[in-house]
Amino acid sequence: MRFSNTFLDEIRDRVPISNVIARRVSWDKRKTNVSRGDYWACCPFHGEKSPSFHCEDRKGRYHCFGCGVTGDHFRFLTELEGLSFPEAVQQIADMAGVPMPLADPVMEKREKERGSLIDVMEMATSFFQDQLQTANGAKARAYLRDRGLTGRTIETFRLGYAPDSRNALKEFLAGKGVSKDQIEACGLVVHENVPVSYDRFRDRIMFPILSSREKVIAFGGRAMSSDAPAKYLNSNETELFHKGNVLYNFARARRAIQGPGRGDQDDSASGTIIAVEGYMDVIALYQAGIENAVAPLGTALTENQLELLWKMVPQPVLCFDGDGAGIRAANRAAELALPHLKPGRSVRFALLPDGKDPDDLVRDEGRAPFDKVMSQAKPLSEMLWSREINTGKFDTPEARAELEARLKQLVAVIADENVRRHYQQDIRDRLNAFFQPQFQNRNNGERRGFSGNSRNGRVNASKAGPKSPSLISDRLARSGPVRGHRDNTALRESVLALTIVNHPALMIDDYDEIAAIEYDSRELQRLWSAMLGAAAAVAGPHLTRDYLTERLEFEGFGSLIKSLDQQVRNARLWTATEEAAMEDAREGYRQALAFHKRAKALRRQKMELEREIALATEAGDGEAIVQLIRAQQEVHLEGVRLENQEAIIDGFGVLSGRVKGAANH
């Protein structure tokens, strides 16, 4: 039904939005200011450790600075709890103590009809469940048992069996007083050029498909006979069911990632949403303890289904079989996602071993093999790059130009300007690194550009080709991160430590993350231990810079802090200094920490690849060596990109003049 703006405004004004949201979150006591109606919590729409979800009673709005969701009372109920808009209005009106306006007779009739169809679908579900336990369902039970499903799992997903009969369900529903029109409106019977309808699903294992409100709206049926024209058959489109707008197991998966303890598992199989290909994949993963998997309904992923995934998490994982068909499906999904990318919103791709599906992986060995596949999920940019460079040889200028043109055309469809720009830069970096071997002398390993010439085997430096990614330009060599690597204490680590010394209030919001920082420098390891001990000994409001520096100087760290300060000021990284505003210090610290974590991860990857290359060389596995060296080049390229990006960020604040007199310190 339609509601007037006056009515909606009235009930919104009567109910603080914090009252609506408080039923689904726990407010963060450190950041929330109840007297001002200003509330913070960990976002219920995506998993996180630090509270970035903000709601203001004065404005009647909420916003998450992590995943970007925003809305009012009604949107919160419709998007998080799956209510329809009229149901959300009803709930807010009840909280406000305001009676609902008279309903539109036409809309009221339609809603009533939908409700009656839901009741019919529930009857059909119970019928199929009962049939699975009869003698007729013995073969179906054996099949499910052979697939490793327990009775508890079968009950959880309400699996059933449609008997091999043209009229069994139709007669059952008719006996319950369900009209012929209702049965047909639910898509439970079909007409195929015959005057009398008959059951759509016959001799099939039945998978109920639930709405976001966990009501049965459709079915999927798996044929028991090998002669059936379709192995899997879905309900047709009805008033209740629109296939492209539904994901199998959506409500249960969403509930799984919103449950307690999920917020600190962002990179595991349990901390995101995983889209797999079929019903049985979802169910097998659930039984193995992975409850956050969903599946499209027998067709390629649609834009609406992708939006459903993004409503739950900013970066879902799309899991495909590693065979040719699976890779083609992954590539289609990649192209589907590209136009809709936004800052912080993307997809990753996990490719299963060839010939395996999730059910195969978890049936014998539990979830560990599947978790390993998830840990190796590729970002969208890597998926596109791998696809394009595996299409042929690039040993001529024309072939290289064609590759570059294809990649540029791919990313041109990205609507968000900032994301598109970063993809374009990523392509340039990858192409430069990929084409470098084209300019190498294979006999002596020296570099020759297109115009390079040599005398006595030496390349004229002024005419040499493009520099290798492993070489560092003069500008980059003078930059903070590279210069810092050559110091006894890496500049990045100095920034992290000194920022907290000068702005210890940062520990109040992010203590767990800060306490977990691993330093390479032994001096900083000792300083960090002393600083965490000092912070633990005092209440939050009393954790000031003066208190912290006094404690650290008393413990003998005064000269180290002075040297860190001098190092940081020489590099003009003003966000780490005492003079920086808190918000600038927080932003600089988060950037430095992100670079620090990524650099450590790349270092671990590099060491692991070096070990694998040594093993492959020992074994004489030439194909593996080529693949590993290519992966090593990618890791190296990522390191170069990281250094370049950090160098740019290092200089940004100084050039913008955000801190007066920073250059004079």
The whole-number pLDDT of residue 163 equals 96
Residues 579 and 653 in one domain: yes
| Domain-terminating residue out of 96, 127, 162 | 96
Residues 433 and 524 in one domain: no
- In a domain? residue 630: yes
Taking the complete model, does pTM exceed 0.75, yes or no? no
- The yes-or-no verdict on residue 103 having pLDDT over 80 is no
Q: Which residue is associated with the tokens 């300060």? A: 565
Residues 566 and 654 in one domain: yes
- The yes-or-no verdict on residue 473 having pLDDT over 60 is no
Q: Which domain holds residue 354?
A: 250-386
- The yes-or-no verdict on residue 653 having pLDDT over 50 is no
Helix or strand holding residue 240 (H, E): none
Residues 237 and 362 in one domain: no
Mean pLDDT across the chain: 80
Cα separation, 518 vs 599, in Å, equals: 12
Q: What is the mean pLDDT of residues 77-97?
A: 89
What b/e sequence results for 361-396 when a residue is b if at least 16 CB atoms lie within 10 Å of its CB, and e otherwise? Answer: bbeeeebebbbebbeebbebbebbbbbbeeeeebee
Residues 377 and 433 in one domain: no
- In a domain? residue 192: yes
Say which amino acid occupies 193: N
The whole-number pLDDT of residue 327 equals 86
| Domain-terminating residue out of 185, 212, 241 | 241
Residues 435 and 527 in one domain: no
Q: What percent of the chain has pLDDT over 70?
A: 82
Question: Do residues 320 and 353 lie in contact, with contact meaning Cβ atoms separated by under 8 Å?
Answer: no
The whole-number pLDDT of residue 460 equals 38
Q: How many structural domains comprise the chain?
A: 5
Q: Is the dihedral of CA 234, 239, 243, 247 positive or negative?
A: negative
- The yes-or-no verdict on residue 535 having pLDDT over 90 is no
The whole-number pLDDT of residue 471 equals 33
3 state SS of 586: helix
- In a domain? residue 469: no
The whole-number pLDDT of residue 512 equals 66
- In a domain? residue 473: no
Say which amino acid occupies 488: N
- In a domain? residue 653: yes
pLDDT band at residue 587, thresholds of 50, 70 and 90?
confident
Residues 427 and 516 in one domain: no
- In a domain? residue 365: yes
The whole-number pLDDT of residue 157 equals 97
Cα separation, 129 vs 34, in Å, equals: 50
Cα separation, 96 vs 94, in Å, equals: 5
Residues 512 and 450 in one domain: no
CA dihedral 299, 301, 307, 311 (to 10 degrees): 90
Residues 545 and 625 in one domain: yes
First-to-last C-alpha distance (Å) of the chain? 66
Cα separation, 138 vs 144, in Å, equals: 10
- The yes-or-no verdict on residue 168 having pLDDT over 70 is yes
The whole-number pLDDT of residue 269 equals 53
Residues 78 and 120 in one domain: no
Residues 527 and 555 in one domain: yes
Least confident of 161-175, 218-232, 283-297, 502-516: 502-516
| Domain-terminating residue out of 67, 96, 125 | 96
Cα separation, 152 vs 283, in Å, equals: 11
- In a domain? residue 410: yes
Residues 499 and 631 in one domain: yes
- In a domain? residue 474: no
The whole-number pLDDT of residue 513 equals 72
Question: Do residues 223 and 261 lie in contact, with contact meaning Cβ atoms separated by under 8 Å?
Answer: no
Q: What is the DSSP string of 264-327?
A: T-TTSTTSS-EE-SSHHHHHHHHHTT---EEB-SSSPPPHHHHHHHHHH-SS-EEEE-SSHHHH
Q: What is the DSSP string of 460-509?
A: -GGG--SPPTTS--HHHHTSHHHHHHHSSS-HHHHHHHHHHHH-TTHHHH
